[in-house]
Structure 1
Amino acid sequence: MTIYLLMMALAAVLSYFATWGARRLAHQFKVYTPIRDRDVHSDRVPRLGGLGIFLGFALTLLVSSQTYFVKGIFKDTFAPWGVLLGAMIVVAVGIIDDIVDLRWWVKMLGQIAGALVVALWGVRIFVFPWPGGPVPIESRPLQIFLTVFFIVLVMNAFNFIDGLDGLAVGVAAIAGLAFFIGSYWVRRNSSTQDWSDLSTLLMALLVGACAGFLCHNWHPAKIFMGDSGSMLIGLLMAAGSVGALGQGRNAFYDRIGGVSAIVPIVLPIAILLIPLLDLGLAVVRRTVAGRSPFSADRGHLHHRLLDLGYSHRGAVILMYSWTFVLAFGGIAFAFFPWQWVIIVDVIAALAMAWITIKLAKGPVKAQ
């Protein structure tokens, strides 16, 4: 655990200073986020923040490859480097989009390319999680297709919720921390003698990089992550999930410490529910209105909270709280008997629903 925490801290420090450099670069080349009707900011804010997150992650990954305990993760496999290369591709596409505003289908092709590299280099879905045990997926093309689909889905989910200062990066940090704790604990209590694990490392680096960036992105934000940051976060979160839950029978499928067989299905849904819910609602809303699912609007969950009278920070903190309840409520299945976890999760969800309604000040006219 100590090595993981050190890598997390290093990623945070490097991300903080790299984001500071990205801010200067964005100011120098005048890469600012346009002010649109649906946006909640009214000042020119630089973007390219995704570059800072990426450098914090990438540099720490390189250090990890030479560090005691975790360097074994890199032995005899291309998987970590596939994640790094895939991240480089989506960040490059995101930076170009931040500068010249690419068409949605061009950006989608970049997302698919990045996800494809991750899948081809070894991090892919080999099994389908099922309560009775993992169902092997024998077809390599099907493995790759499912992996690419899932990674692209999660990338767009985080892209959709990136609408308030600190929202997407904070949600990613909380969800990543839950997954990091659960992944490490399950690996630590498994029968294997090697406790190092790629998914645990990816989550540690993601949490650290997000924490470093959040220092610049908290309201009022000094820099936005842009599509380069949201797509990077989505790719890392998805790759970590696939690495932990889609690689075959592992400790997540065993009934140790009260782990239920349903955990492999519940876990990614619980951890990613907020961004996936926002994505699903947006697709339905826009499709019903006869518009492209990728067209922008002001109907996201965070916009709804603002319209209900929440302040900018209040809406962000509320969504943090929901993410904490859902993510840690999901990972709790790996620690405690599932019957008790369900009871506590239901109570916590009802409490959050009551708080959400209670703190709303009533509908306000959208600005």
Structure 2
Amino acid sequence: MLYGILAAIAALFLSAALAALLRGPALRLGITLRRRGPRPVPLLGGVAVTLATCAVAAAGHAVGVTPLGGRTGALLAAGAAVAALGLVADVWGLKSRFLLAGTAVAAACVVPYEETGAVGGALAVGFVACAALAFRSLDHADALAGTVGAVTAFGVGACAAAEALDGLAVLLSVVAAALTGFLTHNWHPARIALGASGSLFTGFLLAAAAVLTRGGHGPVSTAGVLFSLTALAAVDAVLVAVSRRLAGRPLLRSGPDHLAHRLRRLGLTPQGVTVLLGTAAFGAVAAGVLVHTGRAGASAVLWVAGSALVVVCLLLRVRPYGQKRPTCTTASMASSQVSASLRVRNG
């Protein structure tokens, strides 16, 4: 217990220090995210979170205080590989399908097939890969991915502690602390962002850890708990997919149609959006933890699912794309029609 607290403190300060150190090199190398406005945001915050997490976890394992064990060590190694893949995407750019495939391969290496079975294992791999990409999409707003990630890490860590998975619980507390240290630089206006490296690392680690904690439980209850633990990322992904489908836009084409974008259109400040969505994530994660530990029935998951459906339906009414501007051809045709009408009237 004492080491877990010390490890979390170390991860917090190490992540904050590394994020500050990596900001300058990211700007000089042009590894930035260009949002609306003249100020580019460097993308190496995820490297800081990954390095802090791996360093503190490896130190604990080396001194023998909290041995990672086979599954936890494999999970951390696979997470580091996913972070490296995300870094490639940040520096050189990779299409989402390659990120999905690479994350799925990493997930296939950590899923406990002896507990899930072949079909359940395949579904778990798909869940982990999709959850990682959903967390990546949360990095569209300052402090959002870090806040939701930290809240989720605490929740999954509580589930791991309830299953006596001490090494996994400590690792998740370290992840939560590393994200908290990163948030000192990511709060609006952000001075550095997670990027694909950090968001994929966070989403992969949390989703895979949740799958490990649910080993041996029933498939239906497991699906409900996994949904609750990642509900906010799932709602954002579903909202974007449905919105783009209805608008006839390509699914993988970026746009201002995420949760934070729509809430900003309703008048919330960037800080208000983060606090509101962080609170929503906390409620969903708490429901998942209570169901996992047996302190709440399955109806808690139904409340989360019902609330998610209501949010999607309501926010679909917020128009994110605006009206299309008339093209030159359309404008010239309209001008010709007006001229013809005037000639008829004058004639």
The TM-score range, normalised by the shorter chain, is 0.7 to 0.9
The higher radius of gyration belongs to 2
Contact (CA 8 Å) 1:86, 1:113: kept in 2 or not?
Answer: no
Contact (CA 8 Å) 2:134, 2:234: kept in 1 or not?
Answer: yes
| Cα distance between partner residues in 1 of 2:98 and 2:254 | 16
Contact (CA 8 Å) 2:84, 2:197: kept in 1 or not?
Answer: yes
- How much is the aligned-residue C-alpha RMSD, in angstroms? 3.2
The answer for the alignment partner of 2:256 in structure 1 is 298
Deviation at residue 125 of structure 1 after TM alignment: 4.8
Contact (CA 8 Å) 1:126, 1:143: kept in 2 or not?
Answer: no
The answer for the alignment partner of 1:24 in structure 2 is 24
The answer for the alignment partner of 1:102 in structure 2 is 94
- Against the structure 1 CA distance between its residues 335 and 215, is the aligned structure 2 distance closer, same or farther, given a 3 Å change threshold? same
| Cα distance between partner residues in 2 of 1:110 and 1:209 | 24
Q: Where does structure 2 lack aligned partners over 5 or more consecutive residues?
A: 323-347
Correspondence 1:89 to 2:84: no
- Against the structure 1 CA distance between its residues 152 and 196, is the aligned structure 2 distance closer, same or farther, given a 3 Å change threshold? closer
Q: 2:52 aligns with which of 50, 56, 59?
A: 56
| Cα distance between partner residues in 1 of 2:105 and 2:223 | 26
| Cα distance between partner residues in 2 of 1:127 and 1:282 | 33
| Cα distance between partner residues in 2 of 1:46 and 1:285 | 29
SS at match of 1:295: coil
TM-score (norm 2): 0.80
Correspondence 1:280 to 2:271: no
Q: Where does structure 1 lack aligned partners over 5 or more consecutive residues?
A: 129-136, 188-194, 254-260
Deviation at residue 87 of structure 1 after TM alignment: 2.0
| Cα distance between partner residues in 1 of 2:121 and 2:252 | 24
- Against the structure 1 CA distance between its residues 292 and 145, is the aligned structure 2 distance closer, same or farther, given a 3 Å change threshold? farther
Contact (CA 8 Å) 1:46, 1:222: kept in 2 or not?
Answer: yes
For residues 301-312 of structure 1, the aligned pairs below 5 Å read 301-312=259-270
Which structure shows the higher helix fraction?
2
Correspondence 1:322 to 2:280: yes
Correspondence 1:168 to 2:134: no
For residues 216-255 of structure 1, the aligned pairs below 5 Å read 216-246=185-215, 248=216
| TM-superposition CA deviations, 1:84-118 (whole Å, max 9, x none) | 332232222212221222223333333233323x3
The answer for the alignment partner of 2:43 in structure 1 is 47
| Cα distance between partner residues in 1 of 2:294 and 2:210 | 21
Q: Percent identity?
A: 24
The answer for the alignment partner of 1:150 in structure 2 is 127
- Against the structure 1 CA distance between its residues 272 and 42, is the aligned structure 2 distance closer, same or farther, given a 3 Å change threshold? farther
Contact (CA 8 Å) 2:10, 2:56: kept in 1 or not?
Answer: yes
The answer for the alignment partner of 1:65 in structure 2 is 61
- Against the structure 1 CA distance between its residues 20 and 86, is the aligned structure 2 distance closer, same or farther, given a 3 Å change threshold? same
> In structure 2, what residue type is equivalent to 1:109?
A
- Against the structure 1 CA distance between its residues 197 and 365, is the aligned structure 2 distance closer, same or farther, given a 3 Å change threshold? closer
The answer for the alignment partner of 1:133 in structure 2 is none
Deviation at residue 241 of structure 1 after TM alignment: 0.5
| Cα distance between partner residues in 2 of 1:42 and 1:270 | 38
| Cα distance between partner residues in 2 of 1:364 and 1:146 | 34
| Cα distance between partner residues in 2 of 1:69 and 1:196 | 14
TM-score (norm 1): 0.76
Correspondence 1:197 to 2:174: no
The answer for the alignment partner of 2:338 in structure 1 is none
> In structure 1, what residue type is equivalent to 2:265?
D
Deviation at residue 145 of structure 1 after TM alignment: 2.7
SS at match of 2:263: helix
| Cα distance between partner residues in 1 of 2:290 and 2:180 | 23
Aligned length: 316
